[in-house]
């Protein structure tokens, strides 16, 4: 049983912790996925946008990624993302854990249902949240490594590739969301369908709704670098020390 980390735009170089990672092609029913083996541990890294950066958020092959993680025996998954922060109390450039998910429509970016079972299958069933989208046991494992380990934020997902409008940000905040981004939502649902416990670790690299200047392209790139610097040590520690936990939700399957 292995552990895995999904990293985003801030980690699109194919290196982590000063190490160049070895790629392995994993075959799945949804396509071939490159996974990176972490040295000296039964651990894997998946770069969601590709190396180099290839996929915009709506182009990410979420089903293939999740099937590949299951194929290598992932028993604990850490999803990471650089996010927009919706409220004044949530810190920026500090990794924090997720506790709940706000995903108004259970759909993949292409419009299809967010499920590993697009067609009838013997494995299919209803995903029943008994512990929640993010594993409480996995969160408890990671929390002591963080300065803000007591926080369990609500994450809002909206597909990209565009950013949210000011009205959308206000709406998400009114529903109780603390942070948002264009990833993680489909990943946590699909992983749970395959009974993989999930934790979410996000780092705010901007405050959502703040208007950027026309010359802010360099600022965005720098903010992603700062986000990586804040998160990388925790990611490396999870790859070295993380361990699997029991799946605490339930797939309700009907009798044939």
pLDDT tens-place string over residues 15-25: 788 888 889 99
pLDDT over 70, % of the chain: 95
pTM (2 d.p.): 0.93
Residue 251 has what pLDDT?
97
Residues 131 and 246: beta-carbon distance below 8 Å? no
For residue 137, what is the enclosing H or E element? helix 136-142
| All structural domains of the chain | 2-117+131-245 (3.40.50.1580)
Q: What's the chain's average pLDDT?
A: 92
Burial label for 238, CB within 10 Å (0-12, 13-18, 19+), is: buried
pLDDT category at 45 given cuts 50, 70, 90 is very high
Q: Which two tokens stand for residue 64?
A: 């293939």
Mean pLDDT of 92-109: 96
pLDDT tens-place string over residues 138-195: 999 999 999 999 999 999 999 999 989 999 999 999 999 999 999 999 999 999 999 9
233 pLDDT higher than 50: yes
Residues 30 and 71: beta-carbon distance below 8 Å? no
Q: Which of 93, 3, 95, 82 is nearest to 44 (CA)?
A: 3
Residue 37 has what pLDDT?
94
Angle between helices 62-71 and 185-193 (to 10 degrees): 40
Mean pLDDT of 117-128: 95
pLDDT category at 230 given cuts 50, 70, 90 is confident
Distances (CA, A) of 125 to 75, 167, 193, 254: 20, 36, 8, 7
Distances (CA, A) of 178 to 60, 87, 144: 24, 6, 21
The distance between the two most distant Cα atoms of the chain, rounded to a whole number of Å, is 60
């Amino acid at each position: 049983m292995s552990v895995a980390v999904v990293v985003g735009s801030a980690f699109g170089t194919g290196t982590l912790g000063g190490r160049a990672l070895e790629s392995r092609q994993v075959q799945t029913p949804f396509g071939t996925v490159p996974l990176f083996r972490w040295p000296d541990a039964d651990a894997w890294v998946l770069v969601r946008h590709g190396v180099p950066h290839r996929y915009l958020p709506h182009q990410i092959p979420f089903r293939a990624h999740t099937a590949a993680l299951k194929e290598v025996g992932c028993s604990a998954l850490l999803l990471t993302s650089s996010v927009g922060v919706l409220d004044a109390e949530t810190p920026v450039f500090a990794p924090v854990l997720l506790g709940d998910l706000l995903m108004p429509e259970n759909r993949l970016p292409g419009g299809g249902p967010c499920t590993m079972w697009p067609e009838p299958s013997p494995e299919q069933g209803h995903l029943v949240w008994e512990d929640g989208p993010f594993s409480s046991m996995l969160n408890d494992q990671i929390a002591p490594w963080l300065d803000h380990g007591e926080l369990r934020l609500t994450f809002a997902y909206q597909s990209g590739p565009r950013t949210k409008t000011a009205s959308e940000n206000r709406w998400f905040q009114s529903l109780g969301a603390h942070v948002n981004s264009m990833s993680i939502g489909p990943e946590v649902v699909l992983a749970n369908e395959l009974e993989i416990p999930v934790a979410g670790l996000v780092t705010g690299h901007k405050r959502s709704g703040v208007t950027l200047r026309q010359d802010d392209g360099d600022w965005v790139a720098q903010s992603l670098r700062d986000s990586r610097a804040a998160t990388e040590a925790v990611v490396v520690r999870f790859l070295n020390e993380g361990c699997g936990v029991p799946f605490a939700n339930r797939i309700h399957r009907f009798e044939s």
